[in-house]
Amino acid sequence: MAAQIIDGKQVAADMREELKKEVAKLKEQGVVPGLGVILVGEDPASKSYVTAKERTCEEIGIYSDDNRLAPDTSQQELMALVERMNKDPKIHGILVQLPLPKHLNETEVLLSIDPAKDVDGFHPMNVGKMVVGEESFLPCTPHGVIQLLVRSGVTIEGAEVVIVGRSNIVGKPLANMLIQKKPQRNATVTVCHTRTKDLAAHTRRADILIAAAGRPNTITADMVKEGVVVIDVGVNRVEDATKKRGYRLVGDVDFEAVKEKASLITPVPGGVGPMTITMLMYNTVESARRTIARTSQ
């Protein structure tokens, strides 16, 4: 029997409705959650992504301070803008859209963001807190994966989880989050990568398989067991002359074949993707909550 589809669009929509209510409560307390967004340059994918974030802010009721800077913006100008946002009480979260133009130092910029406003969860202070299990802003895509699992009724505790991919944005933080001694965590996690010997031997053990390798058809039907839960984080462009754009989007999983063996599976697009922006909004609202808590002490 074919797998049940995990509808990321619907889960994201449900969470956004919850966030609308949270924002309304915060506004009653005199606080409007604010997100500062910085986009440098004209990268089409980045522009599209930032525009989607701005629309979502408007939908939920979050104040958005949008800054679109010229491609030749200097390091000094960019750092000054980040510092302004760090000091602005109306801004609870700061997002610097990556990648930056090559003449800019991404590491220096990310380090300059106040960890209390680092709603992407990339600052080393928040990464460290995440690893040791302290309260922190969790990276948006890995947190979105966990929300998809939890809200789909998947039991994470005690599950054998295999993650294919070890990036700093998905694989590593997700592994750290899933092994925490906390409710809806407590998984046994294996992280596989390009140097893993006999990848299929590991993936066939998985109760939950998370593909984040960035390569189409990394996971095929013979690499999974019956009843596995599959989360496909990959987004890859594949040439397709039948499409107006000349390409179609596919994940890292051979979806049509694997869905015949899986119990639950995310599609691409429409799976993990919609969750990333939603979790950014979640972190921004959480930051506003923490601001109220700090000022009331």
Q: Are 120 and 142 in contact (CB under 8 A)?
A: no
Q: Give the model's pLDDT for residue 49.
A: 87
Pick the CATH number of 140-274 from 3.50.50.60, 3.90.550.10, 3.40.50.720, 2.60.40.1120: 3.40.50.720
What average pLDDT does this structure show over 118-136? 95
Q: Are 114 and 148 in contact (CB under 8 A)?
A: no
Q: Give the model's pLDDT for residue 1.
A: 63
- The DSSP symbol for 206 reads -
Q: Are 268 and 251 in contact (CB under 8 A)?
A: yes
Question: What are the CA-CA distances from residue 162 to residues 203, 216, 255 (Å)?
Answer: 6, 18, 17
226-270 pLDDT per residue, tens: 999 999 999 988 888 888 888 888 999 999 999 999 999 999 999
Whether the pLDDT of residue 295 is over 80: the answer is no
Kindly give the interhelix angle for 273-295 and 8-28, rounded to the nearest 10 degrees.
20
pLDDT, averaged across the chain: 95
State the span(s) of the chain assigned CATH 3.40.50.720.
140-274
What average pLDDT does this structure show over 93-107? 94
Q: Give the model's pLDDT for residue 261.
A: 97
Judging by DSSP bridges, how do beta strands 4-5 and 264-265 pair with one another?
parallel
Q: Mark whether 252 is an active-site residue.
A: no
CA distance 226 to 212: 21
Q: Give the model's pLDDT for residue 268.
A: 96
Q: Mark whether 97 is an active-site residue.
A: yes
Q: Give the model's pLDDT for residue 297.
A: 62
Whether the pLDDT of residue 154 is over 90: the answer is yes
Name the active-site residue from 9, 87, 88, 97.
Answer: 97
Question: What region does 233 belong to: left with phi over 0, alpha with psi -120 to 50, or beta?
Answer: alpha
Q: Are 35 and 93 in contact (CB under 8 A)?
A: yes
Q: Are 251 and 120 in contact (CB under 8 A)?
A: no
| Predicted model pTM | 0.94
Q: Mark whether 120 is an active-site residue.
A: yes
30-71 pLDDT per residue, tens: 999 999 999 999 888 888 888 999 999 999 999 999 999 999
Burial class from Cβ neighbours inside 10 Å (0-12, 13-18, 19+) for residue 112 reads middle
Name the active-site residue from 118, 120, 232, 252.
Answer: 120
Q: Which CATH architecture has domain 32-116?
A: 3-Layer(aba) Sandwich (3.40)
Share of the chain above pLDDT 90, in %: 88
Q: How distant is the alpha carbon of residue 46 from its chain centre?
A: 15
273-291 pLDDT per residue, tens: 999 999 999 999 999 999 8
190-210 pLDDT per residue, tens: 999 999 999 999 999 999 999
CA distance 41 to 250: 27
State the span(s) of the chain assigned CATH 3.40.50.10860.
32-116
Q: Give the model's pLDDT for residue 145.
A: 98
